[in-house]
Structures are given as C-alpha cells and as structure tokens.
C-alpha cells in the first residue's frame, strides 16, 4: 500500500473504513465453563494461521507475544473505536495512529484492549488527550464507527482487508491479502490500462525519502518498494544506518528502520 501511495502520488485518493472483524470475545469462546478450553483451541488454531501469514507478508510479527495475552485482546472492536476516536480528535493523525495500533499489537505484542492503553498510545501524537479520551469513552464515537459498518454492509464486505477501488464510474473489489503485483494488475484492469504501476527507480536519495515520508518502515516495505533481493536489502540498510541519521529496531520476526 505504501508503494502504491508513492507511485500513484496525487492520482490516489483513499479512505480507511473500520469493518470490525470481531466485537465480543464470547462470539468465539462462549460464556460457559468450557470457554477457557475453547480459547486455548482457538489460540492454537490462530497461532498456526498467523505464523503462515507472517511468513507470507514478511512484516515484523511476534506471534508469541500476541498470544501471551487473554481472549479480550483477540477482538478488534476496541481498536476500531480507538481509531475512530482519533479521527474525531484530529484526523491528521488518524492513519498514523492506526499504524501504531497495528505495530503494537502484531509486532510488539502489546495489549491495547483497555482504554488507558489506547490513550497512552495516543499521547505519542500532538493531540488534545482529554478530548481523545472523551470521544472514546462516550457515545460520540459510535456514529463514526457505524458509518463504516454501514458502508461495509452496503458493498457486501465480508473479508478483511478489502479494497474497494473506483475509477470514474467503474468499481472493483479486491478482498484478502494481495501482493503488489496483484494490486497493480487490479488497477490496470480497473482503469482499462490507463494507469499502470511501473517499478520504482532506486537511488540512495529515494530510499531516504521513502523512510522520511513514513517515519518508520519495515524492512519488508523497503524491499517491496524497490523490488530488492535479500542481499540488496541488507546492503541498502547498512548504507542507510552507516550515515548515522537512521537506526533499526528489531521487532518480532523482522525489523523496522527509522530516522534517528
């Protein structure tokens, strides 16, 4: 997605919509005396699924830390509401906050099921923390979230992530995980070949610009951006860090790179 944003630049206009994959832990483990046993079974099943997903996408992923928490951390409703609360508080930081939510849960293994944890994370941004907390703890956030849920129902979205892409009056839907090549083909089909994504030309300046633009990027994102081999990625990261202006942060199965 970040590569698409760089290559398409002003041709791309997008919105992020919350669909809520799960809203209540009892939906998948029940509430009776066997709920704990069901959770253990669910956790083992999901651990295998997430290990496969981590291998496929190559992003920093910490499955052990993720499943060290309780079942309350396996629902997406609290984090969806937190994103909507940030959108209400200051929309400029909403996408960056969503990214941090994902990094904390999937890469850092942090629990963000409690409001105080979500507020603490929001304090990383230059916002009115009291307003964020108020938006999150009152009914004010509900209509914002419901708007997204209604849109998902309107278009029959049942799988996450789903990209609903529109060009002129033409729409197509891409559901589930897609790599860059798959998304490129979808865009070419949607636009009848009028928009095609070509590979990014690598230069050290382009690498710096990519990292500076997003502030914190995964090694896999750099690799995808410039279609690097593993060796090329390693060399580029060494060159970047050797300037003294950038640092890496090991996380889960991979690492991030960011400006010092």
Sign of the dihedral through C-alpha 137, 139, 143, 148: positive
Higher-scoring residue by pLDDT: 110, 28: 110
CA distance 6 to 210: 8
> Can you give the C-alpha Rg of the chain in angstroms?
20
Q: Is residue 65 over pLDDT 80? A: no
Q: Once rounded to an integer, what is the mean pLDDT over residues 132-155?
A: 92
Per-residue confidence (pLDDT) for residue 190, from 0 to 100: 96
Higher-scoring residue by pLDDT: 12, 27: 12
Per-residue confidence (pLDDT) for residue 54, from 0 to 100: 84
Domain boundaries, the chain: 12-152, 157-190, 204-259
Per-residue confidence (pLDDT) for residue 237, from 0 to 100: 97
SS3 254: strand
Q: What is the pTM of this model?
A: 0.91
What kind of fold does domain 12-152 have according to CATH?
Answer: Cyclin A; domain 1 (1.10.472)
Q: Is residue 63 over pLDDT 80? A: no
Per-residue confidence (pLDDT) for residue 216, from 0 to 100: 96
Comparing 33-37, 65-69, 75-79, 131-135, which segment has the lowest mean pLDDT? 65-69
CATH says 204-259 is which class? mainly alpha
Per-residue confidence (pLDDT) for residue 195, from 0 to 100: 94
Peptide bond into 81 cis (omega under 30): no
Enter the DSSP assignment of 23: S
Per-residue confidence (pLDDT) for residue 139, from 0 to 100: 82
| Percent helix, strand and coil across the chain, each to the nearest 5 | 60, 10, 30
């Amino acid at each position: 997605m970040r590569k698409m944003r760089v290559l398409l630049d002003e041709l791309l206009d997008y919105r992020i919509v919350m669909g809520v994959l799960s809203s209540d832990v009892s939906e998948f483990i029940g509430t009776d005396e066997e709920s704990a046993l069901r959770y253990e079974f669910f956790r083992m099943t999901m651990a295998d699924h997430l290990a496969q997903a981590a291998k496929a996408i190559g992003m920093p992923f910490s499955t052990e830390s993720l499943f060290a928490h309780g079942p309350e951390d396996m629902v997406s409703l609290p984090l969806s509401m937190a994103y909507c609360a940030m959108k209400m508080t200051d929309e400029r930081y909403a996408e960056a906050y969503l990214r941090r939510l994902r990094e904390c849960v999937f890469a850092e293994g942090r629990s963000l099921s409690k409001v105080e944890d979500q507020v603490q994370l929001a304090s990383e941004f230059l916002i009115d923390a009291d307003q964020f907390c108020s938006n999150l703890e009152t009914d004010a956030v509900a209509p914002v979230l419901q708007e997204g849920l209604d849109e998902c129902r309107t278009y029959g979205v049942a799988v996450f992530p789903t990209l609903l892409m529109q060009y002129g009056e033409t729409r197509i839907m891409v559901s589930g995980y897609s790599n860059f090549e798959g998304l490129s083909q979808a865009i070419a089909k949607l636009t009848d070949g009028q928009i095609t994504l070509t590979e990014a030309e690598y230069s050290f300046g382009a690498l710096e610009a990519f990292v500076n633009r997003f502030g914190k990027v995964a090694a896999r994102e750099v690799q995808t951006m410039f279609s690097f081999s593993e060796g090329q990625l390693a060399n580029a990261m060494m060159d970047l860090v050797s300037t003294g202006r950038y640092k890496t942060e090991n996380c889960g199965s991979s690492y991030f790179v960011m400006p010092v």
